[in-house]
Chains A and B, each alone.
Chain A
């Protein structure tokens, strides 16, 4: 009977999982994908899964990408669900990106500056022509090697700050917020906003950041600096009482510089928007910096009328794990609610028909 058939049950679920696994494996005549290949060769996908999965672990991210058949939101979800079960051993010291081992460092606002412009492994000036050589597994020509410059490379914002041209950030709370441990209140402080943005959906951040450039909360940004490279992570174990290096992670940091006309009590200066992303992710870090700046509107006494300036709107919808869950949950059974709706519509139609008939009499 039809009624039994619509109630799928256990066997349907098991069959669906088996089919899915088979589809993921693809043509068995081809070698299975090794997550190590993903880690090594799909680095930008790994970076994005780590950022949105809020977990820096290249190997796990590669595994998640393989398991998710390359669906990066699904991969981020797998990482989040794993991350949430991990015990917390401690918190790192604030990362010092000034001591980053620079692979890339560019400023769009000074022609040259201490440390120089370092283009790094970028696609910025590639011509987007499909490289058919990749099909044959051609090895790329060896890249020229320069000695890494390990001297501290001052951040552009700090150079401006030395001249008092940058509005200093207000002092932060001693202990930064953690939105994964306590639901943030409204309006959320900047640390909670930055944490939300850092793990927010790249497409959403990109669209919002873009909107600020088109007049929706315009803030006239300049790319003060984008830098990418490895940064040491340090912790202070309670039993030691001094900092130890526990490894390094690759980050992309962006500081956008925006004009700020000043107020009656404050001189004209520049303000900054800040973006930070795991791995090499210019787009993500830049979009985040634009949105971070837009979200400072209220604090800077600016009109907050654009979507990117509405902290509740931005933070409420930036998380793609939340968003995809709620959008996709519409495919779960809703027939009880729909039944109540269909009965209500039938009642309303009957009442309207009665009223029409009465009017005609």
Chain B
């Protein structure tokens, strides 16, 4: 794109972000402050993820962008176009072909590899913010690894409701040290965070924080011995590919309670259908 540097950000900004990313990798799960730039997309649309992607992306990379697991949601389309225009990189919808995957709210169903980097868009990097809105205070809590308040909150849920009421953005302990937000992925995706072969980078633009989970790092969803963490999905099969393992979107088909369930990961669903799998609506 004329008048702008490769991947939009100037080189000094990239250096600043790259230094933050390296420290984030060295301290798994710790939120590293960075001087987030104003991007030409609004805060909340993935400015943190975009800045991370822009700082790691090279001409040889193949980029996939998903939102809600899908490549064709409007914001995924918009971000993919942004990088196609500013970096001229090859883009793909196929998970297996991507070297960098930027995501909002999902982890792809297909296991990722050592050759891939997963970049998360993060609206709220602070896992404690519902319990303590002051970042000065939560910074202190992280420094002391003082996470009792979060355990109490989960325990109260169990005592009152019989189970933990958090269904997405379910807090995790990274490498046994930092309580970390996995971003608003469904709790269903949490097990994929654990010892993932791919590097996971998290960018929060408005909140000006970057954090990381290195490959093969222990990531434990908070739970209790007598109430182990359990991922949930809709108890249904994808209407298109028949999958009973994938995370499903619920689609309202009429005003009379009609529902249909389809894979949230569109590439996963398409690959299964290409391999001959069929659901009831196929």
Is chain B in direct contact with chain A in the complex (CB below 8 A)? yes
The answer to whether A329 touches B45, judged by C-beta atoms less than 8 angstroms apart, is yes
Can you sample 13 A-B contacts with CB below 8 Å? Answer: A1-B281, A2-B251, A3-B260, A10-B81, A84-B39, A87-B10, A183-B35, A333-B75, A335-B68, A336-B68, A337-B167, A339-B250, A341-B167
B123 A181 Cβ-Cβ under 8 A: no
Q: How many residues of chain B get a CB closer than 8 Å to chain A's CBs?
A: 65
Interface of A is mostly: helix
A83 contact set on B, CB distance < 8 A? 38
The CA-CA distance from A342 to B252 in the complex, in Å, is 13
A6-B43 in contact given A340-B167, A341-B167 (Cβ < 8 Å): no
Partner of B43, one of A181, A183, A321, A344: A321
Interface string of A316-358 (1 = CB under 8 A from B): 1000011011111100111111011111100110010001000
Verify A325–B45 contact, CB threshold 8 A.
yes
Closest chain B CB from A312 CB (angstroms): 6
Contacting residues, chain B, for A316 (C-beta < 8 A): 135
The answer to whether A342 touches B250 (Cβ under 8 A) is: yes
Q: Which of B57-65, B145-153, B181-189, B193-201 contacts A (4 or more CB under 8 A)?
A: B181-189
- Minimum distance in angstroms from B257 CB to a CB of chain A: 13
CB-based contact A180/B35 at 8 Å: yes
Closest 4 CB pairs of A and B: A329-B44, A325-B43, A340-B167, A183-B33
Residues 1-19 of chain A: 1 if any B CB is under 8 Å from the residue's CB, otherwise 0?
A: 1110011111011000000
Interface contact A337-B249, CB-CB below 8 Å: no
Question: Is there contact, CB below 8 Å, between A183 and B208?
Answer: yes
Chain B min CB distance to A317 (Å): 11
Chain B's interface: helix, strand, loop or mixed, by majority?
loop
Alpha-carbon distance between A332 and B77 when the two chains are bound, in angstroms: 13
Is the beta-carbon distance between A326 and B35 smaller than 8 angstroms? no
Complex: how many Å from CA A328 to CA B45? 9
Chain A 30-51 near chain B by CB (<8 Å), digits 1 or 0: 0000000000000000000000
- Interface 9-residue window, one of B22-30, B112-120, B157-165, B220-228: B157-165
Most buried by B among A1, A9, A341, A344: A344
Taking a contact as CB atoms under 8 Å apart, the answer to whether B123 and A329 are in contact is yes
Q: Does chain B have a CB within 8 A of A186?
A: yes
Number of contacts between A and B (CB, 8 Å)? Answer: 152
Tell me the smallest distance from the CB of A219 to a CB of chain B, in Å. Answer: 23
Q: A182–B37 Cα gap in the complex (Å)?
A: 10
B74 near A13: Cβ-Cβ < 8 Å:
yes
- The answer to whether B67 has its CB under 8 Å from any CB of chain A is yes
| Nearest-neighbor residue (CB-CB) of A324 within chain B | B42
Q: How far is the CA of A87 from the CA of B5 in the complex (A)?
A: 12
- Please state if B136 and A85 are interface contacts (CB–CB under 8 Å): no
- Known: A332-B44, A336-B168, A344-B165; 9 extra A-B contacts, CB below 8 A, are A8-B74, A182-B35, A324-B43, A329-B42, A336-B249, A340-B167, A343-B232, A344-B167, A344-B232
Check A81–B39 contact: CB distance below 8 A: yes
A77 within 8 A of B: yes
Complex partner residue of B168 from A181, A183, A337, A355, CB under 8 angstroms:
A337
Of the candidates B45, B135, B234, B264, which one forms a contact with A332 in the assembled complex, judged by CB atoms under 8 Å apart? Answer: B45
The residue in chain B whose Cβ has the minimal distance to the Cβ of A187 is B136
**Nearest chain B CB to A308 CB, angstrom units:** 16
Smallest distance from the beta carbon of A351 to chain B beta carbons, Å? Answer: 5
Contact of A104 with B by CB under 8 A: no
Q: Is the CB of B38 within 8 A of A80?
A: yes
Q: Contacts A183-B36, A336-B186 known; A326 to B106 CB distance under 8 Å?
A: no
Judged by a CB distance under 8 angstroms, whether B214 is at the interface is no
Cβ contact within 8 Å between B44 and A13: no
Tell me, in angstroms, the Cα distance from A212 to B99 when the chains sit together: 53
Task: Return chain A residues, CB-CB under 8 Å to B234.
Answer: 339, 343
Q: How far is the CB of A19 from chain B (nearest CB, A)?
A: 15
B208 to chain A: which residues have CB within 8 Å? Answer: 183
Chain A residues near B276 (CB, 8 Å)? none
- A8-B73, A333-B73, A336-B264 known; A347-B232 Cβ under 8 A: yes
In the assembled complex, the Cα of A351 lies from the Cα of B281 at a distance in Å of 31
Q: Are A333 and B68 in contact (CB under 8 A)?
A: yes
A81-B38, A84-B37, A333-B67 known; A340 and B72 CB under 8 Å? no
A181 touches B70 (CB 8 A): no
Q: Interface 1/0s, chain B 72-88, versus A by CB < 8 A? A: 11110110010000000
Docked-complex contact B167 and A343, CB < 8 angstroms: yes
Residues of B within 8 A of A343 (CB): 167, 232-234
Most interface-central of A3, A181, A329, A339 (chain B CB within 10 A): A339
Q: A316-B135, A339-B234 are in contact. Are A351 and B44 (CB under 8 A)?
A: no
What string of 1s and 0s marks CB contacts (under 8 Å) between A291-332 and chain B? Answer: 000000000000000000000100010000110111111001
